[in-house]
Structure 1
Amino acid sequence: LRERFPIDPRRCPVYQDLKGGGAPAGIEYYLPLFFDTTATLFDYLPPSALLALDAGVLESAEAFWAQTGERYEQRRHDIERPILPPAEILLPTEHLRQQFNATPLIETVAREHARFGEAADLGVQPAPDLPINVRDAEPATALKSFLASYPGRVLLASDSPGRREALQETLGAAGIKPSVVANWEDFAALADEAGSFATVAAFDNGFAISEPPICVLTERQLYPDRAGQPRRRRRSDRDPDSIIRDLSEIAEGSPIVHEDHGVGRYRGLVTLDVGDTPAEFLEIEYAKGDKLYVPVAQLHLVSRYSGASPDAAPLHSLGGEQWEKAKRRAAQKVRDVAAELLEIQARREAREGRALQADRAMYEQFAAGFPFEETPDQQQAIEAVIDDLARERPMDRVVCGDVGFGKTEVAVRAAFAAAMAGKQVAVLVPTTLLAQQHYQNFRDRFADWPVRVDVLSRFKSAKDNRAELDRVERGEIDVIVGTHRLLQEDVKFKDLGLVIVDEEQRFGVRQKERLKALRAEVHLLTLTATPIPRTLNMSMAGLRDLSLIATPPQNRVAVKTFITPWDASQLREAFQRELARGGQIYFLHNQVESIERRARELAELVPEARIRIGHGQMPERELEQVMLDFHRQRFNVLVATTIIESGIDIPNANTI
């Protein structure tokens, strides 16, 4: 490395890692420095090898080679992380082309792009889409016609045994009764038998073979609008309490609380002689350097400090009055809260609420319209909410999960049950933009059902909003989405049965007081990614029911975090990677005063990016419009302050 590059070993992380016996990230790009000669894949292939190339391989290789050359030119002078020329570590495209020309080759191309005389038809076609619509009176008409006319055998492949049984039930009701086979081998062995068969198999797509005539249909053909969630081994059920209460060991220097003496700092375990017997004690340091030694046997008197900023925790004085006064104030607050909770709970228990229950068959049809497979946590949350609604007392449940983990579908199922039971639903959100997003989601899900959904929004005129409220009062709207405007005294419902609150922590004290009153009267469902401590404590105490959605959805991968000095070329590369996949970028900037200058710098660095600015000092409507445009992908880079924390699901934004 030192012979090849003019590096300063002290400033080169790669050199330091190698010297210490470690393997730095990206060590494979220094492979030629470890060996006299290196080999390619083609050096390992026997002369008789046959290559099969998918369409467009060479075009992709050429694009990659050009991109690699551009990145090399950008970073070739980096003396801290020196890099070799691409030709030393990668196979040039021209070399690749020569190898392909010298090797027996099968190239797959689409039929319409085949050159006459050079192409052989493999006799394989994509399977046709034969959608099953469970809402139709005849849900499998297309499949029935296909089976009647197809000359060979048809295999219906499901993702799991449960999905296969559900498919068999649907087909059985339509008069189609496929025979069950254990796997593909058993199906292939039935060469002389015609008809339809069902199995569990992991085919990505269906296909049809001309000779012998065999057609494989997967759920992509039968449910083309439905995206599957990859099957994962079911984990043992975990109590939400264990997730929240599973705390690590107390670190030395952390603040802790003694029941009788207040807040001090934990200084570790010490061994002291008590009489003739050594014993272990917790050493706690208080204000003015005073020490308290707590026997391990009295560990129950010590608890973790739960206040804000542990580093700045206020230490109490041993023997002082401060801790006793704080305990008396806390006890009074506890009594006040307890009285309030008892009153609400008594009103809830005394009120004989109406159970909200949809017809089971209708509910199953509605659930089938969800275009994804529910994650295990999401399914548990849905079942818990539906069970709560079916009881005679008002529900008060908190559903906690990250943005994009599927909380909205839980709310949609609850709203369906309430609407089908003849009750109205209010969906309460903190911002106009989030109201628009929920409105669109609810509209999409209820499009095929007699459920009227509308929204109160600043994007509408005052006259239109007043008309919506009149329709709500007359019972002409089943689901109304809105901000805190829904909590005002002039909003009247004909028969409100369910209130759904999203991002509860964003509402003010006055709105929460109104929610408290509602809690005793109607079913209440709270959705949150970041529950406020009071909500969380009430859930932990059993005063509010809690469901956690912790399983990420399909294709959600772990976040990778890189911490580096400011580097324009590295930044440009990060932008290009995200924009090349059609994604969007948040660029977080911490100063409103210089945010426009930063946006101009980024525009010069990445001219192909479409950049807009958003910050908290902008007029509220202007800021909402910026966020709405970002959600609709009208630009791809948002330079913003912390206002991006708004609960809005922008799944296309993949890089911060």
Structure 2
Amino acid sequence: MLLPFVREVFADAEKTASFTRLVSQLKASLQQLEGGSGDGAGRIRVSGLTPTAKLLHFSLLHRVLGRPLLVLVPNNRAAEQLLPVLRAFCELTGAASASSVVSLPAYDVLPFENLSPHPEIQETRASTLWKIVTGSASVVVAPIASAAMCLREQEYYADLARVIRKGEAIDAERLVEHLNTVGYSAVDVVEMPGQYALRGGILDAYPPEAERPVRIEFFGDEVESMRSFDPGSQRSQTPRDEVVLLPLTETPVSEHTLAAIHTRLSGKRVAGSQEILQQAMASGGVSIFPGWEFYAPIAGSHTTIFDLLPRAAVFVDEPAAVNQELETWWEKVQDAHERSNIGSLVRPEELYIPPQDLSARLEQLPGATVEQLGITRSGEEEIAFSSQPSQRFHGSMPAVVEAVQKLIAENRQTVFALPSLGEVERMAEILGEYNIAYRLGSRGQKSAGTYADEASQYFSEEQAGAVLLVKAFVPEGVHLPEANLALFGALDLFDESEVAAAHPEGRRSKVSAFLSDFRDLAIGDYVVHVEHGIGQYLGLKEISQTEGEPPLEFMVLEYADAAKLYVPLTRLDLVQKYRSAEGGKPVLNHLGSAAWGRTKARVKKAMADMADELLKLYAERKTAQGTAFAADGQWQREFEDAFEYNETEDQLQATADIKRDMESPQPMDRLLCGDVGYGKTEVAMRAAFKAVSDNKQVAVLAPTTILAFQHWETFKQRFAAFPLTIEMISRFRSAKQQKEIQQRVEAGKVDILIGTHRLLSKDIKFADLGLVVVDEEQRFGVRHKEKLKQLKKEVDVLAMSATPIPRTLHMSLVGLRDMSVIETPPQDRMAIQTVVAAFDEKLIRTAIEHELERGGQIYFVHNRVESIYEIAARVQELVPRARVLVGHGQMPENELQKVMLKFIRHDADVLVATTIIENGLDIPLCNTMIINRADRHGLSELYQLRGRVGRSNRRAYAYLLVPAEAELTPVARRRLAALKEFSDLGAGFKIAALDLELRGAGNLLGGQQSGHIDAVGFEMYTSMLELAVRELKGEAAPQEVDTQLNLGLNIRIPADYIAEENQRLRMYKRVAGVENEKALADVTAELSDRYGAPPAAVENLLRYAALRLQSKRIGVAGIDRKRDLVNIRFVAEAKIDPQRLADFVAKERRAQFLPAGILKFTLKATQAEEVLEKLQSLLSSLAAEELTVP
């Protein structure tokens, strides 16, 4: 929370003569317009404000005028750069909350080109338009092309969102219909923004802009309760009284709108003709098509952004640039119209306000044009401000201190605005060291550090001359002499090349286990029953076992010779989905044959041998004495402070994990998993710096020459300020150069050596190797992995991977390897819009032209060397102005290096290449990728390729070009569908799990294991491996009793409680698989939370699970009940008290205890609840030790 005095610091800027005059003229202009006396008396010209000063004054003007502001800028990029700083100033001045400062971006594609706008742009526009018409937008930033768009009426946008309040009456079904129309997707489990799930009287929804999804529980039509929940665990968290379900699109899908568009495009006029629209709807010709969103205004009344903001003061930022952008954009719209075959059916003037009309409209509106450089024109009056950019210190703290001391002596108010709490504390520490008093701008900024604490002698609550430290994203400062204010941003102080805006992000939960929970089980899938082997899932079936009792649900499995097995859903812990190493169809087992037992025994022996080999490695590593690196020193802290971005929480945790390993005497073997571009390299560089600080050498292995080269460039740049020697050895080096580097490495004169598998050659000898960093480990061959395996016994090894192959993941899961995960995306990273389309030259030209317009670069992936030059020539013909290069692995080394260097340095626009670019190229300007014949690539490969774009805060696009759908194989179709689905950030782990199913699991140590995976299925293979490893480690768990309960009770999950079959199966499996009372309590709480209060049948299922847990712990092999007669079968080692058992038999008239360990007795109970409670009570009374019964 900002302290009140912060606002007062900036209030002096409102008292200057220029500001007072501007406010006076604006108020007069606004009153004149609202009084109905014509236009706003002409535009006011404002000059002399630096970019930062403009944004500060916009926030002050909103505070003083008390009405909305509309700020027009040249394009989307300008709006994106301006928005976070404007939000920061609105909060610092108390003008408005950050959430009410919004942008209305222009569409990123042109009309008439059959392309829909980026989903993120649609989502932002929809939220902004709703906020505008509901009065919750304080300041709106819009590119001029957006201001020119024709819009729909106010009521149309007011209906886009739904505000839900606790206690209100709402029709849940109509609410779901609305969510469908505004872009939400119906799913079984809500995990990502834009999804919803309805289960009976509970609606889960994840609105855009929300940190967490929300769970809305209805009682009839009344909203009984609302709470946010964790998308990972699905458990409820914080109660809510009000929830806003924002839209994902400004163009809701409605039959009326689509009918109007289709009718108009067929050549008919639709204005006022309901009959024509009804005919169109009746004919069924109302489907959506790419680019339909542009035509939405056709279906309703035309308005503009100015009509939706009638009270706003309108500011044009840098009018010359805005007008130039407007003219260029309008020419493109007209060109697109001429190239299309739409003709006169829809004219551009029906979708946009033409430039001349827009300029005339702006002249009539109250507001001002704002330009930094005021060029006086005769007869024009302007209001000139005085502002200067802040002094740049380039990281020199003595210079900062000297300037601050001078400002304090001149009685100037000095403010340091820093983007993160860490930066604030860092500056507080520096000021304290130089005895300069400071004030903290908010209570939340105080840390546990003494230097930023109230008790510090340099902290001054009242002292006016103290430097004010505030956490705010204002990269560049400003000096306002008239306001006596000197504001410095992070770029002024630390000379960072880029400062990342700090946005609060909801933390993603850790990766869930890869093993199947039946969420994706479909009829016809193969499954493995632990006792009977491989069968085929045929669905669920209800069967009545006892007359008068309700039927129970069973899973129906088919085995060889069409034999059927009916598995009670209470025993789904025995069933797993079948996945094989090669993805082929398995052979069904014969029910009742001994073959399955022999198969399990054979695999178990192989598992034991394999686990023994793995454990030898594991034991050697644990007992080996490696280097115990020293704790961090001053240089390490300086190296990490020099990082130009704010670290994510996951990066910090991974760094801490690695340092802990390195400071241990055992050699490190850690896998660092993180999505493409999530900052793994920075973590690795911190580990490398730690190693060289202890006078050890570091080897960095990359799978390709290109990746090695880029790592070399990155390391050199990052380590430039420190006296270290970094070299690269690869085919980009001549033989003479390589020889010289080898000698220097052996002599200990190279600190970090980067290269491909060449580093593993015998002739590369290190003087004192301490750390090996392996990037994309799974791409190295078996021979190289053997060499790495030996290295792991001697030195610390850090492996990195974006989509880790499943065998690597499961090595980590079974505890043979340490793993750190980076799941949090860097701030401002955007999801990649993925388009799957047929090969179309018009689409290719449009995609390339669009990227060139924003100064970007394009990858065109064509994985056939024999035709790559032909494709490149065609690309050049399509876009003559583009500078096109070709790169592939068969080129001579020096030629390929030149090509890559040219592209990296932006001496070319389009790189037509094979999959050589899959790893390594990190080019922030490259944000469009076109992949030809995407169906020929594996899923992980496609994901890696797509990860080459979207590595900055620009929107990225991936076009997957495929042949006609009829030519796609089923696996290719699934791969492409998965890639479209996983466009969200951090999808690498989902990709790895799905690719496991599509291409098979591979194996842990070699091809010999694939047959074993095929024989028993991947999940059982993994379980058996884990058990074998535990046994060899001496951690073997005691043999558990597999209790069978046949009670003839109504224990089930009714379909009216969980309607979706796979979710019902999933919960049955969860209940059947609980291993202790805590796990059962968690499942019980989750059921109530997600699906509402459990009905009696579900309560009985949970009691049944509790009874089974209790029986297993005591040693009950089974309980059989038929009418009133009950048999309890005990195992030989059952934990029962003989005296208590004898007392029970003596007391119960018809009770018997047979020599075979069977207790027979009569149980008088009819209700399931009563039966279960009496059995639990009996077992508790017989137990040799007290057991907790839930």
Q: Same fold (TM over 0.5)?
A: yes
Q: Distance in 2 between matches of 1:42 and 1:221?
A: 37
Q: Which deviates the most, 385-394 or 169-178?
A: 169-178
Give the corresponding residue for 2:316. Answer: 53
Q: Which deviates the most, 516-525 or 222-231?
A: 222-231
Give the corresponding residue for 1:316. Answer: 588
Letter in 2 for 1:52: F
Match of 2:674 among 369, 377, 401: 401
> The residue matched to 2:371 in structure 1 has which SS?
coil
Match of 2:425 among 152, 160, 165: 165
> The residue matched to 1:500 in structure 2 has which SS?
strand
Query: Given the alignment of the two structures, is residue 73 of structure 1 paired with residue 346 of structure 2, yes or no?
Result: no
- Where structure 1 has 5 or more consecutive residues not aligned to the other structure, the ranges are 184-189
Q: Distance in 2 between matches of 1:243 and 1:159?
A: 37
- Report how far residue 341 of structure 1 moved: 2.2
Q: 1:307 to 1:624 in 2, by over 3 A?
A: farther
Q: Distance in 1 between matches of 2:399 and 2:729?
A: 36
- Report how far residue 111 of structure 1 moved: 2.4
Aligned residues: 637
Give the corresponding residue for 2:1061. Answer: none
Q: Distance in 2 between matches of 1:170 and 1:477?
A: 34
Q: 1:70-149 to 2 correspondence within 5 Å?
A: 70-77=335-342, 84-103=346-365, 106-111=368-373, 113=375, 115=377, 118-133=381-396, 138=398, 140-141=400-401, 143-144=403-404, 147=407
Query: Is the Cα–Cα contact under 8 Å of residues 394 and 521 in structure 1 kept in the other structure?
Result: yes
> The residue matched to 2:673 in structure 1 has which SS?
strand
Give the corresponding residue for 1:263. Answer: 534
Match of 2:770 among 493, 497, 517: 497
Q: Percent identity?
A: 39
Query: Given the alignment of the two structures, is residue 175 of structure 1 paired with residue 456 of structure 2, yes or no?
Result: no
Letter in 2 for 1:97: S
Q: Distance in 2 between matches of 1:192 and 1:475?
A: 55
- Report how far residue 246 of structure 1 moved: 7.5
Q: Distance in 1 between matches of 2:438 and 2:283?
A: 62
Larger radius of gyration: 2
Query: Is the Cα–Cα contact under 8 Å of residues 439 and 454 in structure 1 kept in the other structure?
Result: yes
Q: Which deviates the most, 400-409 or 455-464?
A: 455-464
Q: Distance in 2 between matches of 1:515 and 1:159?
A: 42
Letter in 1 for 2:361: Q
Q: Distance in 2 between matches of 1:570 and 1:650?
A: 23
Q: 1:181-192 to 2 correspondence within 5 Å?
A: 181-182=441-442
Give the corresponding residue for 1:410. Answer: 683
Q: Distance in 1 between matches of 2:631 and 2:399?
A: 21
Give the corresponding residue for 2:757. Answer: 484
Q: 1:516 to 1:113 in 2, by over 3 A?
A: farther
- Report how far residue 129 of structure 1 moved: 2.2
- Report how far residue 654 of structure 1 moved: 1.2
- Report how far residue 327 of structure 1 moved: 3.9
- Report how far residue 366 of structure 1 moved: 0.7
Q: Distance in 2 between matches of 1:386 and 1:247?
A: 39
Q: Distance in 2 between matches of 1:143 and 1:525?
A: 44
Q: Which deviates the most, 502-511 or 614-623?
A: 614-623
- Report how far residue 154 of structure 1 moved: 0.7
Query: Is the Cα–Cα contact under 8 Å of residues 856 and 926 in structure 2 kept in the other structure?
Result: yes
Q: 1:100 to 1:17 in 2, by over 3 A?
A: farther
Letter in 1 for 2:350: E
Q: Distance in 1 between matches of 2:762 and 2:863?
A: 39
**How big is each residue's C-alpha offset from its partner over 1:32-70, in whole Å with a ceiling of 9 and x where there is no partner?**
5334x6344455776x97542111221111111111111
Q: Distance in 2 between matches of 1:247 and 1:429?
A: 38
- Report how far residue 615 of structure 1 moved: 4.6
Query: Given the alignment of the two structures, is residue 372 of structure 1 paired with residue 610 of structure 2, yes or no?
Result: no
Q: 1:227-376 to 2 correspondence within 5 Å?
A: 227-233=498-504, 235=506, 238-242=509-513, 248-274=519-545, 278-287=551-560, 289-308=562-581, 312-318=584-590, 327-328=600-601, 330-376=603-649
Q: Distance in 2 between matches of 1:234 and 1:31?
A: 33
Letter in 1 for 2:386: G
- Report how far residue 564 of structure 1 moved: 3.6
Query: Is the Cα–Cα contact under 8 Å of residues 706 and 920 in structure 2 kept in the other structure?
Result: no
Q: Distance in 1 between matches of 2:904 and 2:913?
A: 14
Q: Distance in 1 between matches of 2:329 and 2:322?
A: 11
Query: Is the Cα–Cα contact under 8 Å of residues 496 and 522 in structure 1 kept in the other structure?
Result: yes
Q: Distance in 2 between matches of 1:446 and 1:122?
A: 43
Q: Distance in 1 between matches of 2:518 and 2:435?
A: 56
Match of 1:224 among 478, 481, 495: 495
Match of 1:200 among 452, 467, 471: 471
Query: Is the Cα–Cα contact under 8 Å of residues 357 and 418 in structure 1 kept in the other structure?
Result: no
Letter in 1 for 2:354: P
- Report how far residue 593 of structure 1 moved: 4.6
Q: Distance in 2 between matches of 1:139 and 1:148?
A: 14
Runs of 4+ in 1 over 6 A off after TM superposition: 15-18, 20-25, 243-247
- Report how far residue 147 of structure 1 moved: 3.3
Q: Distance in 1 between matches of 2:927 and 2:517?
A: 30
Query: Is the Cα–Cα contact under 8 Å of residues 227 and 373 in structure 1 kept in the other structure?
Result: no
Q: Distance in 2 between matches of 1:110 and 1:167?
A: 31
> The residue matched to 1:294 in structure 2 has which SS?
strand
Letter in 2 for 1:463: K
Query: Given the alignment of the two structures, is residue 461 of structure 1 paired with residue 730 of structure 2, yes or no?
Result: no
> The residue matched to 1:563 in structure 2 has which SS?
strand
- Report how far residue 86 of structure 1 moved: 1.0
- Report how far residue 109 of structure 1 moved: 1.7
Q: Distance in 2 between matches of 1:642 and 1:326?
A: 41
**How big is each residue's C-alpha offset from its partner over 1:356-399, in whole Å with a ceiling of 9 and x where there is no partner?**
13543222111011111111211111111112111121111101
> The residue matched to 1:357 in structure 2 has which SS?
coil
Q: Distance in 2 between matches of 1:114 and 1:642?
A: 56
Q: 1:394 to 1:52 in 2, by over 3 A?
A: same
Q: 1:41 to 1:297 in 2, by over 3 A?
A: closer
Letter in 2 for 1:65: W
Give the corresponding residue for 2:190. Answer: none
- Report how far residue 93 of structure 1 moved: 0.9
Q: 1:146 to 1:220 in 2, by over 3 A?
A: farther
Q: 1:146 to 1:340 in 2, by over 3 A?
A: farther
Letter in 2 for 1:434: L
Q: Distance in 1 between matches of 2:517 and 2:407?
A: 55
> The residue matched to 1:561 in structure 2 has which SS?
strand
TM-score (ref. length: structure 1): 0.87
Give the corresponding residue for 1:38. Answer: 302
Query: Given the alignment of the two structures, is residue 29 of structure 1 paired with residue 294 of structure 2, yes or no?
Result: yes
Give the corresponding residue for 1:187. Answer: none
- Report how far residue 650 of structure 1 moved: 3.1
Q: 1:326 to 1:577 in 2, by over 3 A?
A: farther
Q: Distance in 2 between matches of 1:147 and 1:245?
A: 65
Q: Distance in 2 between matches of 1:154 and 1:297?
A: 69
Q: Distance in 1 between matches of 2:589 and 2:289?
A: 50
> The residue matched to 1:562 in structure 2 has which SS?
strand
Q: Distance in 2 between matches of 1:290 and 1:341?
A: 40
RMSD: 3.4
Q: Distance in 1 between matches of 2:297 and 2:813?
A: 59
Q: 1:4 to 1:144 in 2, by over 3 A?
A: closer
- Where structure 2 has 5 or more consecutive residues not aligned to the other structure, the ranges are 1-259, 271-276, 444-460, 930-1190
